Copies of this chain bind each other. A is one copy, B any other.
């Protein structure tokens, strides 16, 4: 019996499926496609490779040797005991930079332009006059998280002529040349008071849980904005809500929250100047993301079939 790959995803078109079939055959694998985890539940039993996000059916995947996530976030599979110790885990960090950065630029501008006010009033057919607005031009932008997303974002906002783009990551070092300066997280206390827009794109790891806590939120200027497209766990939400409602922050755009879907009675819904979206920034539906995603899987399938190291392997201890 041939070795088996199970693909779980409902966004790949026929062209990408054909490409995967061809590559699987070359690598000596059978490949089967399922749109949902439920449909794939039986098939994963003898799958050596899963390309998908099988969080609900993982216990049935007894033969699994390699799990390739189509997502950037890998935290759900890095928790102790979720995945067998010998299973290789890869992710698609790098496929989402473009879509996440486009989204993050959009919400940054929506905050600066008071788009929520205009949307509210236009819905009532009220022709609202000009209110004070701000520009990315001249703004001081701090990126908490300087990986693929932060780099894509920095490159895209550069011609908007921000006053400065500061990147903050674990090490305070990066090879990327798209930032004006890079600091380690320990420098946040110095950087946040001189930040107009804080853009967060951190993975969820023990180190990033509630990294933006009350103390750090209070260091941001009252007219600062916060954007989060990484993981909701990185923000102390009650502290953020309090700051927003008290006018100690100008606004926030969150695509990710502590609990998703956000419960109907969560106070985040009614926080002042908040812009919420249902975790759709890192969108697999965009043509670009789909193509890059599948290309990453096939690159590692070739590595896997030939006994080489996998390029997009997740460090399960670090969580990304």
- State the A residues within 8 Å of B (CB): 11, 98-99, 102-103, 105-106, 109-110, 112-113, 115, 118-119, 121-122, 125, 127-138, 155-156, 158-161, 260-262, 264, 269, 276-278, 280, 283-289
Contacts and interface: CB of A to CB of B under 8 A. Distances in A.
Given A102-B113, A288-B137, A122 B278 contact: yes
How many of these chains are in the complex? 2
A69 to B, nearest CB: 16
Given A125-B269, A127-B261, A135-B289, 4 more contacts: A125-B264, A128-B280, A130-B284, A133-B283
A164 B218 CA distance: 44
A129 to B, nearest CB: 7
A102 B160 contact: yes
Contacts of A109: 102-103, 105-106, 109
A262 B126 CA distance: 9
Contact of A286 (B11, B115, B133, B284): B133
B119 A113 contact: no
Contacts of A260: 127
B278 A138 contact: no
- 9 interchain residue pairs of minimum CB distance: A127-B261, A106-B109, A127-B278, A132-B285, A135-B286, A155-B159, A133-B283, A156-B159, A137-B288
A4 to B, nearest CB: 27
